[in-house]
Structures are given as structure tokens and as C-alpha cells.
Amino acid sequence: MDGDTLYTIGALARRTGLTVRTIRFYSDTGIVPSTDRSPAGYRLYDLRAIARLDLVRTLRDLGLDLAVIRQVLDREIAVPKTSSHLVSLR
């Protein structure tokens, strides 16, 4: 995967193991916005979107809800505070 390449939502789903529906939801809610659109209007994503999806998936696997994940992605809360939040959930 090269840094300038843009990937379709289907390619992203295959790469991350997430469903197209999940990626579309994350895109629509601004958690992982698309990088661009094709001339036909298809969503396109770059390597940063792949990394962001991988992080979202990891945080979801750890039990964080989307509100907290959004705060992490928006840098409203730091990773150490997120760790404390995880400990309090258990």
C-alpha cells in the first residue's frame, strides 16, 4: 500500500476486517471521514484512514464506546486517561 493510493470502502473492509456497513457508519458520523470521492461519488480512503480504523477497532475491542473513542481521536482525552477509564469499567 503506497502513501498516495486511495482505497475504496470495499478494499478498506477487506484490509481491516470490518464490514462495509460499519465503515460507512464511522464515515457518516465523522469518526473516520473519507479522504476523497471518486468521479462516480464513491468514498475513497488513504493510509491515515486505515490507521484510524485500526485504532477504532482496537479501542472497541477493549470495550470503549464510540463517545470515548471520538474523544481519543479528537485528542480531547489522552491515552493514560483512557487507560484509567478502562480500568474503571472492569
CATH hierarchy code of domain 7-89: 1.10.1660.10
Secondary structure letter of residue 3 according to DSSP: T
pTM of the model: 0.78
What's the mean per-residue pLDDT of the chain?
87
Domain-wise residue ranges, the chain:
7-89
- Taking residues 13-30, what's their average pLDDT? 95
Residue range 45-75, pLDDT digits in tens: 999 999 999 999 999 998 889 998 998 888 8
The CA distance from 90 to 77, in Å, is 19
Q: Which pLDDT does position 83 carry in this prediction?
A: 63
Q: What percent of the chain has pLDDT over 70?
A: 83
Q: Which pLDDT does position 77 carry in this prediction?
A: 73
**H or E, element range at 7:** strand 7-8
Give me the DSSP letters along 25-85. Answer: HHHHTTSS--SEE-TT--EEE-HHHHHHHHHHHHHHHTT--HHHHHHHHTTSS-HHHHHHH
Measured CA angle at 24 (ends 11, 35), to 5 deg: 65
